[in-house]
Structure 1
C-alpha cells in the first residue's frame, strides 16, 4: 500500500474510500495491508483510547491460547475461524499446526482482501485455506467448496467467533447465529466466542461511540448477554472471563487495567 494521499492500488471488489474492520485492525497492529481511510480510523481510535493497540494484541494472545487449548487438550483437528481478519503473526493455522501438524483450518471473512493475503501466507499448506463470505450466512459458509474440501462437518469442529460478534447489532441476532453454527456440528464440537463488554468506564464509552461513528458497528453487551452465546453448551474453565484471565501463560498480576476489562470471552463444548 502507499502512503496517505498517494494513489492506492486495491484488488477487485475493494472500496478504498470506505474503512474495513479487517484493515483497521491491520493498521492498529502496524501492518501494511490497509488504506488511508483505515489508517485515519486507526488514528482516531488511538487518540480516543490510546490503549486500543494493547487491546488488539490482547485479543491476539487470547486467540493463541484458545487455539492451543482446542488442539492440545480438547483434541480438535478442525477449526473454522469466522471474521478472521487479515493475516498477522501467530495466525490460527500456525498455532494449531504447531500443536498438531494435521490440524485443518479455514479462515472466513467478508473483506475480499483477506482471502488472497491469507492464501499467500499459506502457500503450499494443504491443511489451511481461506474463503470470502459473510459469516451471517451459515449455509453459504458451511456449504462453501473451500470449506467442505478441508472440513468434515460430521467430525468435531471448533468455531472461532472472537472479535466478531460485537460487529452485529441485536437486530442481526448474533446469539441465534451461534446457535445455528453449533446446530450444524456434531457432539464434541466447540465454540470460542467473545464480545466487547458494556461498562460505565469512560474508555469503554469512548470506544463504543467512536466505533459506531466511524464504522457503523461496535455493540458492547452486558456480561449476561455474552454468556448467553454459550447457552446449551458446556463451558470450559474458567468460564466467561476477561481475556487476560482465560488460562493465562503466567499468573495475572493484580487487578486488571481498565482496557483489559473491555473484552469478555470463553470456550464451550457441545455435549
Structure 2
C-alpha cells in the first residue's frame, strides 16, 4: 500500500504519532472514523465522510443513531459509577476520543476509577495515547473484539483491571459490527464468563423492528443494513430477542433492553452529558440495556 502525507488530525496525535500510521488506507472507510464524523469530530478521511453521507442519504436520520448511542453510553456509565460504585471499566470498540468519554464520566463519581479502552483502529490508539499520556488510571490498547481472550489477558496485564473484582464491560455499538459467522453471541458469553459476580454489561445494538408492528421502521432498518454492508462490509440489524441473548442469565437493570431513548432518560431541559434524545423516527432502530452478573 503506498504511503501518503499524514493529514493534520493524524499529526495532532503528538508524541503518540508513529510511522506505521502512514500505512493506513485513506480510501477505505473505518467504523471509528465514520462514527467520529457523525458525532461532529474532525478525525476522518474523505472515504469516511462519503460512507457516512451515503448512509444518511439512504435513510435520513442515521446521524441521530450515533448521537443517541453516545448519550446512552454516557448515561449507563454515570449509572454504573454513581449508583453502583463500579470502579473498573473495560470499553471495547471505544472509538476516537470525544467529549464525554467513559473515563471522564466515571471520574465524576469515582475519581480513581480505572478504565481500559480497546479498539482495532491504529488512529484511535494514537489519539488515545496522546490524550491519556498523563492519565495514570486510563489506557487505550489496540486489540480486537473477535479475540476475547486476548482482550481480557492484555487488559488485565496492564495492572489497571482486576478481573476477580466487578468490572463494567462496555459493548456500546460494537456487536452489530460482527457478522453471524463471527459468533457475537459466543464472544459475549466468553467475556461474561470471565468476569466476577457483581460485574455489569452494557450493550447497545442496531435493532430490526417487528415488521408486523412497525413496517416503516423495519423497512428503514433493511435499507440501512444494505447500505452499511455495501460500503463498510459490516453492520447488522438484529432482533430484540437476539440482542437480549447477549446478556445471558445476568439480571437486567430496569427498564431492561429498550430503545435507547427510554433507558433512564434525563429531563428534556438537562444540559449534562447523556441528555441527547433521538427523534422518534429512530427510536426503534437501536436498543440497549445494562445487566448485572449474579
TM class, shorter-chain normalised? over 0.9
3-state SS of 1:90 partner: coil
Say if 2:82 and 2:110, in contact at 8 Å, map to a contact too.
yes
Structure-2 residue corresponding to 1:267: 290
Q: Distance in 2 between matches of 1:121 and 1:224?
A: 38
Do structure 1's residue 40 and structure 2's residue 50 form an aligned pair? yes
TM-score, with structure 1 as normaliser: 0.92
Do structure 1's residue 192 and structure 2's residue 202 form an aligned pair? yes
Say if 1:193 and 1:267, in contact at 8 Å, map to a contact too.
yes
CA shift, 1:121, in A, is 1.9
Structure-1 residue corresponding to 2:65: 55
Do structure 1's residue 165 and structure 2's residue 182 form an aligned pair? no
Q: 1:145 to 1:207 in 2, by over 3 A?
A: closer
3-state SS of 2:42 partner: coil
CA shift, 1:73, in A, is 1.0
Q: Distance in 2 between matches of 1:146 and 1:44?
A: 39
Q: Distance in 2 between matches of 1:145 and 1:159?
A: 12
Residues 15-164 of structure 1 mapped to structure 2, 5 A cutoff: 15-144=25-154, 148-164=158-174
Structure-2 residue corresponding to 1:217: 234
Do structure 1's residue 232 and structure 2's residue 211 form an aligned pair? no
Say if 2:38 and 2:67, in contact at 8 Å, map to a contact too.
no
CA shift, 1:147, in A, is 5.2
Question: Which runs of 5 or more residues in structure 1 are unaligned?
Answer: 1-5
CA shift, 1:152, in A, is 1.0
Q: 1:145 to 1:248 in 2, by over 3 A?
A: closer
Question: Which runs of 5 or more residues in structure 2 are unaligned?
Answer: 11-20, 210-214, 269-274
Structure-1 residue corresponding to 2:262: 245
TM-superposition CA deviations, 1:168-219 (whole Å, max 9, x none): 1111111111110111111111111121111342322221110010001111
Structure-2 residue corresponding to 1:258: 281
Q: Distance in 2 between matches of 1:173 and 1:213?
A: 21
Q: Distance in 1 between matches of 2:173 and 2:195?
A: 21
Bigger RCO (CA 8 Å, 6+ sep): 2
Structure-2 residue corresponding to 1:175: 185
3-state SS of 2:36 partner: helix
Say if 1:67 and 1:92, in contact at 8 Å, map to a contact too.
yes
Q: 1:30 to 1:192 in 2, by over 3 A?
A: same
Q: Distance in 1 between matches of 2:38 and 2:255?
A: 29
